[in-house]
Amino acid sequence: MKVPENSIIYKFIDLILYGNFWIAFGSLALLWQTTLIYQQQFYFDALTGFVFFGTLFLYALHRIIGMSKAHASFQFERYTVIVGHKRHIEIYAGIGALIASVSFFFLSRSTQLALIIPGLISLGYVLPILGNKKRLRDLNNIKIFLVALVWAWITVLLPAIEYGLLPYEGILLTFFERVFFIFAITLPFDIRDLQVDEQSAVQTLPAKWGIERTKNIAAGMTGFSLGISIYCWREFYYSIPIMVALIITYLATIILIKKITPQRSDYFYTGLMDGTMVLSGVLVSTFIYLFH
């Protein structure tokens, strides 16, 4: 029996997805994945609080500013849902900013300094600080590279600095593995947003190369991540359970990428594509628990 779209189930899913809790859980899952790989444990501390609530704040802020810049795109279903949750999103942005700010002061000085670059990029990505009220994401062909860099920086380099895992060759390999993975799962959103970016006069890779070629590039980037994970196992940075968990994640990601079309429901993108981050963290933690 089909569940009505106005049911409490769909409303809850919309709240989790468009309230930005899902993407915040994704950042936390990848952060914990890094610490599990190199320390076989994860933490509930200032860094986890900063990453989770900082992600919640930035993506909520991005939604709020995006709504003010995308009036012509409100015919898309996701914008209608986002507008309906505007008050919630504003509240979550405030809560996220407050807790992330408090958590920041409990981080080590080295971690605080390491946050300067990704912090500036992240704020420039969502705030119209450039000429003609443009954001970094409004610059042609650049937003996906910024997203991949910042996510890898936050979920790999920050825990490495905070928990004293540097210098360590494996961390550098994990960093590039994460860059390729985030790049791969971000490309599909450019496919989804082809019409929106066209209206905003933003040229993205799918607009330049076409949908099928973009999908192949995304699958190839995921393949790079898979190859790095196997190499890390061969060099004894990753155990067999970790490698298997990551291989399953990357193969599942490639399958999802191959099924992408611009007509797909936003649940496919925001739920499943972003959900690969959660899947990765859950599989790594589960395999470590079961087989270590």
Report residue 2's pLDDT band, with 50, 70 and 90 as the boundaries: very low
Q: Select, from the ranges 64-78, 131-145, 182-196, the one with the highest average predicted confidence (pLDDT).
A: 182-196
pLDDT of residue 144: 85
Q: What is the CATH number of the domain that holds 252?
A: 1.10.600
**Structural domain harbouring 47:** 8-291
Residues ≥6 apart with Cβ < 8 Å to 214: 187, 190, 191, 205, 206
Q: Which of 7-11, 40-44, 48-52 has the lowest mean pLDDT?
A: 7-11
pTM: 0.91
Burial class for 76, CB neighbours closer than 10 Å (0-12, 13-18, 19+)? middle
Is 15 domain-assigned?
yes
Comparing CA positions, the residue from 221, 223, 224, 244 lying closest to residue 233 is: 244
Is 61 domain-assigned?
yes
Q: What is the number of domains present in the chain? A: 1
Query: Percent of the chain, pLDDT > 90?
Result: 55
Q: Which residue has the higher pLDDT, 206 or 243?
A: 243
Residue 172 has a CB neighbour count (10 Å cut-off) of 14
| Helix residue spans in 133-200 (DSSP H) | 143-152, 158-162, 169-192, 194-199
Is 1 domain-assigned?
no
Is 112 domain-assigned?
yes
Is 228 domain-assigned?
yes
DSSP-assigned letter for residue 72:
G
Q: Which of 5-19, 43-57, 257-271 has the lowest mean pLDDT?
A: 5-19
pLDDT of residue 208: 83
Report residue 71's pLDDT band, with 50, 70 and 90 as the boundaries: low
Is 2 domain-assigned?
no
